[in-house]
Amino acid sequence: MSLLAAQGLSKQFGGLSAVENVDFDLPQGEVRALIGPNGAGKTTLVGMICGRIVPSAGRVTFDGRDITGLPAHKRIMAGMAYTFQITSVFTGLDVRENVALAARRHMRPAETGPAVEAALARVGLADRIDQEAGDLSYGHQRLLEIAMGLVQSPRLLILDEPTQGLSDAEIAGFKGLVRELAGDTTILLIEHNMSVVMELADRVTVLNFGEVLAHGTPDEIHHNADVQAAYLGTG
């Protein structure tokens, strides 16, 4: 069963088409990677899915419900969590409080403490729980953002360039985390690191010039001549 579906999603900014007639279907429990060259429309597409950008045409359904007109905060309440390409942590608060703020949307105050600690342990930040978020490295801020998403127990977790700024060891830890979540949590992964995409994704969607260029398994995408020419640089 599809958890998320987009039908005919399009977005024009002025006279320019950023996304054009995209159909997108994400089954429950799947890890789907969204890839494409810079400027392909990935961030705009995800913005329409999570409610931060109003589409010019088309619709979005989540768990069978049309959510096209639903604002972003209500999509969060419905079970979406979205980590930004540019970190959106509260730099003046400590790590614990950042995650607690995200948790409070979904649980009673008495439940937040254990949930916060568990989320930080999963991303490898348990030892930094009292550190001010603004003092974290960029990579650790990305991990904090993922913890802020995880603590909400989302049905759909959207990760926008999650490995950017991470060390090799942190990337390995991130891969392990996604494998642990896979099946229970549906994941949409926007990622430039192709080794991460090829190792983690069940299926891959490729955007180019705002349109879907290809859908397929990682192996099918790797051997797709159109994708090689447009994005992978081997055509």
User: What CATH code is carried by the domain that includes residue 28?
Assistant: 3.40.50.300
Do 206 and 198 touch, CB atoms closer than 8 A?
Answer: no
Show which of 118, 153, 188 is a domain's final residue: 153
Retrieve residue 190's tokens: 């926007």
Average pLDDT over residues 205-213: 95
Do 148 and 118 touch, CB atoms closer than 8 A?
Answer: no
Q: How confident is the model at residue 109 (pLDDT cuts 50, 70, 90)?
A: confident
Show which of 121, 137, 153 is a domain's final residue: 153
- CA 116, distance to chain mean position in Å, is 20
- The pTM of the full predicted model, rounded to 2 decimals, is 0.91
Task: Say yes or no: 74 and 6 in one domain.
Answer: yes
Q: How confident is the model at residue 87 (pLDDT cuts 50, 70, 90)?
A: low
Q: For residue 95, what are the domain limits?
A: 90-153
CA–CA distance, 145 with 161 (Å, rounded to integer): 11
Per residue in 2-27, pLDDT tens?
A: 999 999 999 999 889 999 999 999 99
CA–CA distance, 86 with 64 (Å, rounded to integer): 30
